[in-house]
Structure 1
Amino acid sequence: ADANGNKSPTFTSTWSEPAVSCESCHGPASRHLQWADNKENNEYVSKGLVRQLATEDYWQFVANEPIAQRLTSNNDATAMPVIDGCANCHSLRQPISTISHESTQTDWLNNFEPTRVREPLYFADGQIREEDFVYGSFTQSKMAHAGVTCLNCHDAHSGQVKGYDAQQLALPSNDGVCAQCHRADVFAVETHHHHPVESESARCVSCHMPERTYMGVDERRDHSFQIPSPALSQLLDTPNVCTECHSNNSDAWAAEKVEAWHAASPIIDNGEMDFADWLLEFSRLNNRLVQARTDNEDTTQLISALTTLENKRYSLLASTKTPAMKKSMLLDTMPINSQQAFDTLVLRLSDDDVVVRLAAISIIRNFDISHRQQLLMPLLKDPIKSVRFAATLALADLLATPQFISQQNNRKNKRLLKENVRQFIEAYEYHGDLLGSQMTLADINRQMKDWDAVVIAYQRALQLVPTYVPALVNLADVYRLQQADNKAEPLLLKAIAVTAENARQAINDPGDIYAFALQQQASVEYALGLLYARAKNYSKAIVPLDNAVQLSPANTDYFYASLLMLDALGERNKALELLRRSPLTQNNEQLTALLRQWQP
């Protein structure tokens, strides 16, 4: 704020230390200095440090097991888990605390809401795509689930991989960190990695931690430690290390090679289906089902097989062996089309792991208001703030629902919800310099129909990033609701210019990125066409509607709207001919009804 108390989106910043310092992990150190001068004083718990971080656990090989077992931890029960300390910085997350996270020993998820593993930030199989800053990647892994922490592999103070030697890239120098827990005589041999020993291709990280380069210079490794699956890449169009090195060969070639290797030397596992096995089988069956329907073939057996696989999904969600982030991925794609699916989802609301509860809430947010109230109201008392806030966002529209407001027996729930909303808004306003905060403030206020607050939040978002398309489009939609299309039109025109440029720049990117850019432009063109249609300016409306159809020819809504505009312009015969010729017509009830209506 300035001298008069007026808020401004600027900072007057000062600093005391460059880069990450001791206090970044251990918190304010004034009491630690006092302890250093008087170490005999029992007043100073944990050497006077605000945040006591756990040390790394130790692992030991047992009998002939190929992978070491975790020993019982000697850490103080009050010590902050290592991953919580690291995730403060090494994660995609939204801050939700109104105090500095360095100043508290509380659970990380009371200070931040984690970004879960979903497209487009990650590939469909969980591999890193955009900058994910490790947490979301690592928490998918079997290693993290077994208790491996950052400090098992990285030095706590330098951040370097233990034993790493930049001058000696190949074995044995730089796989020593892996050999702490994975027996070298089992894994660092050609029968396992199928490459010449001591070659770069034989290194553990070459297959299990592929690199992606960000900003043209920053190489980061995937921390989900997946087993390469060219067969899955064929089905989901995901990258795999085999064809990244053998770039002249196809995924099919690599899949055949890997299958032959595994037949000769099976992967070490317990024979149970895990997430990777499930995803591969699900993708195979789903692709076959789509093809069978396209070819008008009988799908009874495929549907039966998929039903069986859904039961496997429920088992994986219930299993203590499935990493929490993998459970969240399973929930995100789970169809709620049976009582068993619904019951499975409800059980996950009480899951021990926060990220699973968050995933369940995100699905239930789409339920009708009575089910949301019944299922999520108890979570407003959850001990973890990120869970309470997720439930608050899912329930905020109750405060704009007359029935909820008027019910006398809802007094306690109303007070509870209002208090959570107050805390929610306070936290997000505290972090109002973040684009995500403003978009979330717009979201919660829109649910409560506080339109002035919604407009302010979107305007602040556009102050931060003037070309942010969701804010441009959503603010235009608010103006539509307020019957102020004159304010909406320039926002949509700007959004079209931005999305068109995004599409132009993405033309050489991977197909799905370019496709997303085209879809985004099409949706904005459609919104602009409807704006002109509401003003009965049909000759102007037909242009963006036709653009939307050209950009997204499979979208029936765009096609239907363009046909109505042609009819309004007195060109029903042209519209009728388009309707007859379109492959969309026969599979869409709305279009077939229009065809019957217009047929002579």
Structure 2
Amino acid sequence: MPFLVEFRRTLRCAAVALAAVASGASAQTAATPDYVGSETCTACHLEETKDWSTSHHAKAWTPPTAENILGDFEDASFEHKGVTTRFFRDGDVFMIETDGPDGEMTEYPVAGVIGITPLQQYILETAPGKFQSFDVVWDTEERQWYHLYPDQDLPASNGLHWTGPYKNWNARCAECHATGFEKNFDPATKSYASTQTEIGVGCESCHGPGSTHNAMAKEGFKTLLAPEGGLSSYGFTVDLELGGETLIQQCAGCHSRREPFEDGNPLPGTPFHDAYRLSTLRTNLYHPDGQVLDEVYVYGSFVQSKMYAKGVTCNNCHDAHTAELEAEGNAVCTQCHSEAGNPDFASLPLKTYDDPSHHFHAEGTEGAQCKSCHMIERDYMGVDGRRDHSFRVPRPDLTLTTRAPNACNDCHKDKTARWASEAAERWYPNSAHRVPHFSSAIAAARTDLRNNTENLIGIAEHTELPGIVRATALEMLTPAANPEIATRLEPLLADPDPMVRANAIAVQRGAPETERSVRLVGLLADPVKSVRIAAARNFLGMRIARLPDRMNRDLQNATTEWQQTLLAKADFPETQMVLAGIGLTTRNMPAALGAFGDAVALDPQLTQAWVMMVRIHAALDDRDMAIETIDAAIAANPESVELSLMRVDLLQ
């Protein structure tokens, strides 16, 4: 097929391949308004500006001034794993001396400030335009320096060192701490020329660029815009007055664990699944029942909740400009969960919740707080408590079978899960919540997939379950996919939920290739970008002589979109691994070797990339290069048994 020939050609060099599609990466059009900055909004929106100005959003990224910096820079020091970091001032400049990318002690001016409480982190510039988030941070409550990863020894040679790719501010952080951010990474020179309209999460991060709105305001809004023009009636790219999914997805862009598709901030109003791929409930991120494990932020939890299913939105609980809760304590919950109820959510039972007859704890205690039972808290970044937004009913009985935590034992750490389960059963003997739960199947499949495929299939087909749960089951099923499973789950390719459709695509790898192409070809023109990209990925490597012209155009367009997402993440080791996989699939070994090489240059601890390079060199009968590569791999990973054994095999 012509598109596959072109894909193979462009993959000869990953950097060239990515640069080739750069010209098509921008989503803006001539009609898109320009960013004007938050200061422009102040004159007309005084109260909103006042509320926003001290919020965590406004302080997400600030200049390194004496007013903004809270840490001790009076020649303070902090020692970690043999490295003594010094914090001091050179005149008016705040300085940090620490180990740089080569391991040598280096003095860096603080280039930016991240956050205000409960911790504050600092940005350092390690090369022109390349910014890194530093690992030693300031605890604003205890007023002391501490290391984000106290148990880890991360020398400069480690990909997880503060100068490495996973701590790069341009690539990993700035998008959600700035307004109108564009990363502008050059794959050829490995350099950044990032720009933003303003640092911090400004008005236009949520409302969209404001030049058209500003021009309309100067005219007194004499004429409002027609909706079909692509802007709201007041000239914005997103109409937050619509609420619902429009508002939730605008918040979700930053408050989620996801893979970005674009080079920087998506244009506000871009549907979430057109800009990102939301992570499923993966083993390293979530417990089997969907409770938070790693730092997954909010959206992946919230979409599991009954509140989300019933139409609750972020601003039902949080003020849009201060980002604080709308009420204190249990009052934020009892605005709906009470005898009076809330007419906006008519399905709620009208009964007393904020009472010992419901929570069985003494009034005024921590156990009587709604959040203690329904929003467990976990600390991330050492001191930053984040609450699970799935609003689940405590299920200590599931802890016994899945080992997922429960809210009861969060507080009663000296008691067992069985004790908590028996207490809950006494309190709620006829509870409708103590029923079979999807977590039992997911927990079992995590350790024994082959004998639990039927249960995962049942989860995927269960339309009453949240889409993220069903998508998780589909993702887990992919390695076990066979013709029978692929055929049975074919209807999910038309599911209303884009996460389900996208994850159902990979399951079709179990189908014969001719059937797979027929089933997937229509999804190349799916209305949702994440689904189109998933379809394009799964067409790669198919042996198809010809498609009808329209379908071939759809395939080319979806493949180009996929290439553009790779361009946006060319500085990610993960992206280079994908490019290497494409090279292997298309039998382009130079491209595969180049991408694997770029991956280990970014993260020397990616042993699987080293292993694949050695195998490719060996397959090409280049034994000397294979030995040279394995020696470099062992030098970077001296404790790897796998690499040492591989070297022994090469020398035999």
TM-score band, normalised by shorter chain: 0.5 to 0.7
CA distance in 1, matches of 2:445, 2:500: 26
Do 2:397 and 2:418's aligned partners in 1 also have CA atoms closer than 8 Å?
yes
* Equivalent residue for 2:316, pick from 149, 152, 158: 152
* Equivalent residue for 1:482, pick from 611, 617, 620: 620
Indicate whether 1:466 and 2:582 are aligned.
Answer: no
2:224 corresponds to which residue? 42
Deviation at 1:230, TM superposition (A): 1.9
Deviation at 1:446, TM superposition (A): 2.7
Q: Which amino acid aligns with 1:249?
A: K
Q: Any idea what the Cα deviations from partners look like across 1:129-159, whole Å, max 9, x if unmatched?
A: 1111211111111211222111111111121
* Equivalent residue for 1:8, pick from 152, 167, 189: 189
2:359 corresponds to which residue? 193
* Equivalent residue for 1:120, pick from 275, 284, 289: 284
1:329 corresponds to which residue? 472
Secondary structure of 1:46's partner?
A: coil
Deviation at 1:112, TM superposition (A): 1.5
CA distance in 2, matches of 1:102, 1:258: 47
CA gap 1:534/1:465 in 2 versus in 1, 3 angstroms: closer
Structure 2: gaps of 5 or more residues: 1-18, 20-127, 129-185, 227-231, 343-347
1:243-322 correspondence to structure 2 within 5 Å: 243-263=409-429, 266-267=430-431, 277-280=437-440, 310=455, 314=458, 317-318=460-461, 320-322=463-465
Deviation at 1:344, TM superposition (A): 4.2
Do 1:324 and 1:353's aligned partners in 2 also have CA atoms closer than 8 Å?
yes
Deviation at 1:368, TM superposition (A): 4.7
In terms of fraction of residues, the more strand-rich structure is 2
Deviation at 1:85, TM superposition (A): 0.4
CA distance in 2, matches of 1:98, 1:13: 10
Q: CA RMSD in A?
A: 3.7
CA distance in 1, matches of 2:601, 2:481: 43
CA distance in 2, matches of 1:456, 1:476: 13
2:380 corresponds to which residue? 214
CA distance in 1, matches of 2:466, 2:437: 14
In terms of fraction of residues, the more helix-rich structure is 1
Q: Any idea what the Cα deviations from partners look like across 1:305-330, whole Å, max 9, x if unmatched?
A: x99x84x964x655553221122234
CA distance in 1, matches of 2:275, 2:441: 38
* Equivalent residue for 1:417, pick from 547, 550, 555: 555
Do 1:55 and 1:151's aligned partners in 2 also have CA atoms closer than 8 Å?
no
CA distance in 1, matches of 2:222, 2:474: 52
Q: Any idea what the Cα deviations from partners look like across 1:488-509, whole Å, max 9, x if unmatched?
A: 55655666677787xxxxxxxx
2:209 corresponds to which residue? 28
CA distance in 2, matches of 1:87, 1:178: 25
CA gap 1:7/1:285 in 2 versus in 1, 3 angstroms: closer
1:340-379 correspondence to structure 2 within 5 Å: 342-365=486-509, 367-379=511-523
2:590 corresponds to which residue? 452
CA distance in 1, matches of 2:618, 2:357: 65
Q: Which amino acid aligns with 2:247?
A: V
CA gap 1:97/1:393 in 2 versus in 1, 3 angstroms: same
Do 2:292 and 2:301's aligned partners in 1 also have CA atoms closer than 8 Å?
yes
CA distance in 2, matches of 1:240, 1:490: 51
CA gap 1:22/1:464 in 2 versus in 1, 3 angstroms: farther
1:512 corresponds to which residue? none
Indicate whether 1:385 and 2:529 are aligned.
Answer: yes
- Higher RCO, 1 or 2 (CA under 8 Å, sep at least 6)? 2
TM-score (norm 1): 0.66
Do 1:31 and 1:49's aligned partners in 2 also have CA atoms closer than 8 Å?
yes
Deviation at 1:356, TM superposition (A): 0.7
Deviation at 1:17, TM superposition (A): 2.4
* Equivalent residue for 2:648, pick from 520, 526, 532: 532
Count of aligned pairs = 454
1:517 corresponds to which residue? none
CA distance in 1, matches of 2:488, 2:387: 34
TM-score (norm 2): 0.61
Deviation at 1:176, TM superposition (A): 5.0
Q: Any idea what the Cα deviations from partners look like across 1:508-538, whole Å, max 9, x if unmatched?
A: xxxxxxxxxxxxx5xxx34653453254x2x
Q: Any idea what the Cα deviations from partners look like across 1:194-232, whole Å, max 9, x if unmatched?
A: 211221111111111111111202211111122222222
Identity of aligned residues (%): 30
* Equivalent residue for 1:227, pick from 393, 399, 413: 393
Do 1:393 and 1:444's aligned partners in 2 also have CA atoms closer than 8 Å?
no
Deviation at 1:345, TM superposition (A): 1.3
* Equivalent residue for 2:246, pick from 70, 76, 81: 81
CA gap 1:285/1:411 in 2 versus in 1, 3 angstroms: closer
Q: Which amino acid aligns with 2:489?
A: L
Q: Which amino acid aligns with 1:224?
A: S
Do 2:442 and 2:473's aligned partners in 1 also have CA atoms closer than 8 Å?
no
| Structure possessing the higher radius of gyration over alpha carbons | 1
Q: Which amino acid aligns with 1:425?
A: Q
2:576 corresponds to which residue? 438
Do 1:141 and 1:226's aligned partners in 2 also have CA atoms closer than 8 Å?
yes
Deviation at 1:13, TM superposition (A): 3.6
Structure 1: gaps of 5 or more residues: 58-79, 291-302, 502-520, 538-600
